[in-house]
Structure 1
Amino acid sequence: MGMISAEEYLYYTDRALDGMVRIVTELGDERAGRRPLPGANSPFALLTHCLGVVEFWAGSLVAGRPTERDRDAEFTAEGRVADLVARVAEVRARFAADVRGAAPQDPPRGTPPRGFQGPDRVDTQGGALQHVFEELAQHHGQMEILRDCIAPRRGDDTARLRAGHGVKWGVTVPGTIGAWVADMDLGVSPAIRDRLLEVVHREDFGYPFWRGEDPVVTAFEDWMRVRHGWTPSAGHTRIFTDLLQILQVMVEHTTAPGDGVAIHVPAYPPFLASIARAGRRIVPLPMLDDGTRWTFDTDRLAERLAGCRLLVVVNPQNPTGRMFDRAELAALAEVAERLDLVVLADEVHADLTHGARPHTPFASLDPATAARTVTATSATKAFNLAALRLAVAHVGPAAVRASLDAQPIDLHGTPSIMGRVATTAAWRESTGWLEQTRALLRANRDAVAARLPHRPPEATYLSWIPWGGTDPAGDLERTARVKLSPGAEFSAGTTVDTSGFVRLNFATGPAVLAEMLDRLSGRGAPR
């Protein structure tokens, strides 16, 4: 301490404290209290301990201020990050005054108890302050390690992604970036991981059973009410394995071969293929670029939908990323009422919105609309759980519920314990993780829009980009080594031409995205 000024000393201690505050803030309440390694402390506890060090070694031994300290409790501390950060500010203000008022060559104002485990011999106040710096620097380094264990840099570990069983990276050749199928490179929330590990540690792989209500159903109902302002009706929710299964089941229960099924195009390719395989007619509602956004023509809807029995409304829309507004949804609801159509509302991307405007559940428009709407959703998109295979359908039409209930109970299979546990943890315990993920996705969306001209999505992590040519996705995979989804697949079986488009999945880490955009930008601007 005697070799540097008080201000120089505070500069370095401030850097360590700033780094620790940044780490706990980035981790948030959900993760700052985690202990990722056996015998390790949590970042929250380490910062609490550092405040105890500062208060005793500077406050008591340098400034002579009485300090009560429970060192053992510091290492088990838990609480809200905001409260801890506020305490850091208070302690730092006192610490700065203590340092500036220190007499480095004078003896300390007391002797530390043996249990405080500082240096064996502290002869001066400067020595006590040197110990404070050593503790802050040491624990800042430990916290960086803990942070990397708890929340590794999200989405940039391509070796991990390629080593797994996911199709997105599994089918791409080495050196090619996977940006096609709609799942995320961003892992899962700590709560989901913890609940799944609890199942593994219990070796709990028998037939699923829950006492009382199915936790997935109650979690879904609470999530929709709190998050989206719509209260599902009790007893109307059924559990399936995925959204495609729900579509297939609803096609069979609401239409007959030869009937029309209306859907906005471009559309998720497996939906189009499923409708065609069932022997139903695809009736496309073309998405149109009006110069500011993607929309669709609401004129003469009843005339165009004549002969349909089912209307599929994917909102937010895949692949354009549009969030339909209330007027657009009302126009669809009016024609569904007039033609007596069942509406299948696929709202699986509803939790991945980018602006201030909230998602409007189709069934929330009015009671009559709710009575003809099957709302299908899942935690798979927003919480990255595609492999765990669980989706829910809230079945408004009484006739469809009766038809489903009349079928053999095991006809549609039963989602696993793992899918149920993960989905419940998503909707019950992972809101903080979701908000952090949405912030990353918004930044990624803006980065794509700055480099590749297109209509940025209002929701989803998918960009629908007009590139030109007849097979831009194939060309770009060969020349830029980025695998995108071919636009032609999103209008297969219809008269709509989307062959000049590509769909880009930007749910990846910043480094991977930057490399992807560099490669694509070097291969000609989209037209």
Structure 2
Amino acid sequence: MISAEEYLYYTDRALDGMVRIVTELGDERAGRRPLPGANSPFALLTHCLGVVEFWAGTLVAGRPSQRDRDAEFTAEGRVEDLLQRVEAVRAQFAEDVRAAAPGEPIRGTPPAGFQGPDRVGTQGAALQHVFEELAQHHGQMEILRDCIAPRRPDAIRGSGVKWGSTAPDTIAAWVADMDLGVAPAIRDGLLDLVHREDFGYPFWRGEDPVVTAFEDWMRQRHGWSPRPGRTRVFTDVLQILQVMVEHTTAPGDGVAIHVPAYPPFLASIQRAGRRIVPLPMLDDGARWTFDTGRLAERLAGCRLLVLVNPHNPTGRVFDRAELAAVAEVAERLDLVVLTDEIHADLAYEPHRHTPFASLSEETAARTVTATSATKAFNLAALRLAVAHVGPPAVWRSLDAQPIDLYGTPGIAGRVATVAAWRESYTWLNRTRELLRRNRDTVAARLPHRAPEATYLSWIPWGGTDPAGHLERAAKVRLSPGADFSAGTAVDTAGFVRLNFATGPGVLAEMLDRLEPAAAESPRLLDHAGDQERSI
């Protein structure tokens, strides 16, 4: 048995969901029927109000009612008028439920063909029927809504920074967010959290579910078993970098990083008062790489090496030989290696990501592995990342600080991350296939080294500010190459970074706008001829 208030809580949830759907659809679409013979959302909500008025109002409360059930399923009208009726029916429904005597007989006769609860003769059984009808039709209306107004990737123009800060007539292809929604398990987990209104302090028995999901994902997906008890949860990978800079270096120390590099990493290192030691990426005529032979010379005087693998923005998946060269020099110079592996799950066949800490026990003991589900599963705003801390001295230093010094992620980020790593493998595979097709389309129309991972193309366009020119002339917003070498002597001003994680229709329009400008770019034409160059 549940109380009247509990019953009203659940029926209100169903009514709220249906109201939200017809409101979103509006007058033009709420009355549509996606298939011949199907209901419209407007008619389905009208039917539900008829159910409430007859089963609760007449059979429970004893008020006479006039009902034309067939007409309910053909109802049309203005959404505003329907919503006013909803509120009036809901208010009366609440009074009827609170006054009901569940074990007493109903005050009327149900329809002859009714095949409802076994205790159909009681008021409780009649209210149970109302609950079942509302729950069933809420689910049905969600399907109708998706048929009438599907959320296609081509139609997404979100309110986040990617689209929100871009002019209405301009296509956003800059910041690294996807236009591809999220996995059903993630959406369902978040909706369940909201429906339960479960926003108190989080609690779990035993191991942190985020940490165990991370450890299992690494083992199953990447063949690396993180050391138990050495993983901390943070808000994002940039925070992990900032924390590790403070725990491994002093002001004036060198921090090495491959350049071009994610601009906030460069800015963070500079703001901390450390020296950026750039490791230039080189285009050897076949792929982006770096000079492993001079690593020891370049890294002299550094205390921390930041290894972004897969690499943003070039899209390289560093191979085992490259990683082994880095590990050998790090061992020789006693460096801590912070490896950002946030794009690890976006590698394209035949390339496979190798976790840096998996090379050897010695390498693992000097590696801080930072990652998150936010890139591969499109969760940037939910703010959760993990750091597996191999170096004992760094772990002790972190452990000695106040437990809440760096803050903690919210419950929504935790729910989404666990759902990503536990239940969203199939969605990820489908998404990667779409991204692979998009990658190949971009490479065919704008010559450049196609990325081996990520959904980002690093394109040699030429000029001093090609991104600014293309935003003005072609109405496509790209990331300026110069941002990826700020504060270093490396020159990346002639490059742009293009985000192709969008629907095929948006991508086609984007490339149609960019191609005329590409035909005028000598650097792109040179690249099409496979000319060797470096940055």
TM-score by length of 2: 0.70
Decide which of 207, 216, 234 is 1:222's aligned counterpart.
216
Decide which of 317, 321, 332 is 2:311's aligned counterpart.
317
Asked whether the 8 Å contact 2:351–2:452 carries over to 1, the reply is no
| Pairwise CA distance, 1:226 | 0.2
Distance 2:462 2:152 in 1: 32
Q: Counterpart of 1:382 in 2: which secondary structure? A: coil
Cα 1:267–1:150 shift into 2, 3 Å: farther
Decide which of 153, 156, 178 is 1:155's aligned counterpart.
153
| Pairwise CA distance, 1:356 | 2.1
Q: Which residue does the alignment assign to 2:449?
A: 455
Distance 1:338 1:156 in 2: 51
> Match for 2:364: what amino acid?
A
More deviation, 349-358/456-465? 349-358
Q: Which residue does the alignment assign to 2:412?
A: 418
Q: Which residue does the alignment assign to 1:361?
A: 355
Distance 1:380 1:299 in 2: 34
Q: Which residue does the alignment assign to 1:344?
A: 338
Cα distance per residue 1:118-138 (max 9 Å; x no partner): xxxxxxxxxxxxxxxxxxxxx
Distance 2:486 2:148 in 1: 43
> Match for 1:291: what amino acid?
G
> Match for 1:418: what amino acid?
A
Decide which of 260, 266, 273 is 2:260's aligned counterpart.
266
Q: Which residue does the alignment assign to 1:133?
A: none
Decide which of 363, 375, 383 is 1:381's aligned counterpart.
375
Cα distance per residue 1:229-251 (max 9 Å; x no partner): 00000001000000000000000
| Pairwise CA distance, 1:304 | 1.2
Cα distance per residue 1:432-470 (max 9 Å; x no partner): 110110010000001100110100000000000000000
| Pairwise CA distance, 1:317 | 0.1
Asked whether the 8 Å contact 1:262–1:282 carries over to 2, the reply is yes
> Match for 2:313: what amino acid?
P
Q: Percent identity, aligned pairs only?
A: 82
Asked whether the 8 Å contact 1:288–1:296 carries over to 2, the reply is yes
Q: Which residue does the alignment assign to 2:90?
A: none
Q: Counterpart of 2:251 in 1: which secondary structure? A: coil
Q: Is 1:429 paired with 2:423?
A: yes
Q: Is 1:329 paired with 2:323?
A: yes
Cα 1:167–1:367 shift into 2, 3 Å: same
- The root-mean-square deviation of aligned C-alpha atoms, in Å, is 2.3
Decide which of 423, 435, 439 is 1:441's aligned counterpart.
435
Q: Which residue does the alignment assign to 1:303?
A: 297
Q: Is 1:515 paired with 2:509?
A: yes
Q: Which residue does the alignment assign to 2:41?
A: none
Distance 2:142 2:207 in 1: 42
| Pairwise CA distance, 1:155 | 1.8
Decide which of 402, 413, 417 is 1:408's aligned counterpart.
402
Alignment of 1:245-264 (within 5 A): 245-264=239-258
Q: Counterpart of 2:387 in 1: which secondary structure? A: strand
Distance 2:387 2:511 in 1: 37
| Pairwise CA distance, 1:185 | 0.5
Asked whether the 8 Å contact 1:180–1:485 carries over to 2, the reply is yes
Asked whether the 8 Å contact 1:452–1:521 carries over to 2, the reply is yes
Q: Counterpart of 2:518 in 1: which secondary structure? A: coil
Decide which of 489, 496, 510 is 2:483's aligned counterpart.
489
> Match for 1:192: what amino acid?
I
Distance 2:273 2:267 in 1: 10
Distance 2:360 2:210 in 1: 25
Q: Counterpart of 2:345 in 1: which secondary structure? A: coil
> Match for 2:222: what amino acid?
H
Q: Counterpart of 2:376 in 1: which secondary structure? A: helix
| Pairwise CA distance, 1:205 | 1.2
> Match for 2:154: what amino acid?
D
Cα distance per residue 1:468-499 (max 9 Å; x no partner): 00000000000000000000000000000000
Unpaired segments ≥5 residues, structure 2: 1-20, 23-37, 39-112, 114-139, 524-535
Q: Is 1:286 paired with 2:311?
A: no
Cα 1:154–1:373 shift into 2, 3 Å: farther
Q: Which residue does the alignment assign to 2:234?
A: 240
Cα distance per residue 1:140-195 (max 9 Å; x no partner): xx99976955994642114xx24x2x100010011100000001010101100000
Q: Is 1:168 paired with 2:166?
A: no
> Match for 2:163: what amino acid?
W
Distance 1:231 1:448 in 2: 36
Q: Which residue does the alignment assign to 1:469?
A: 463
Asked whether the 8 Å contact 1:313–1:345 carries over to 2, the reply is yes
| Pairwise CA distance, 1:402 | 0.4
| Pairwise CA distance, 1:213 | 1.2
Distance 2:421 2:253 in 1: 37
Distance 1:308 1:152 in 2: 52
TM-score by length of 1: 0.71
Q: Is 1:204 paired with 2:202?
A: no
Aligned length, in residue pairs = 389
Distance 1:469 1:235 in 2: 50
Asked whether the 8 Å contact 2:446–2:518 carries over to 1, the reply is no
Cα distance per residue 1:351-373 (max 9 Å; x no partner): 00111231100000000000000
Cα 1:143–1:522 shift into 2, 3 Å: farther
Unpaired segments ≥5 residues, structure 1: 1-36, 39-45, 47-114, 116-141
| Pairwise CA distance, 1:431 | 0.5
Distance 2:359 2:144 in 1: 47
Cα distance per residue 1:58-99 (max 9 Å; x no partner): xxxxxxxxxxxxxxxxxxxxxxxxxxxxxxxxxxxxxxxxxx
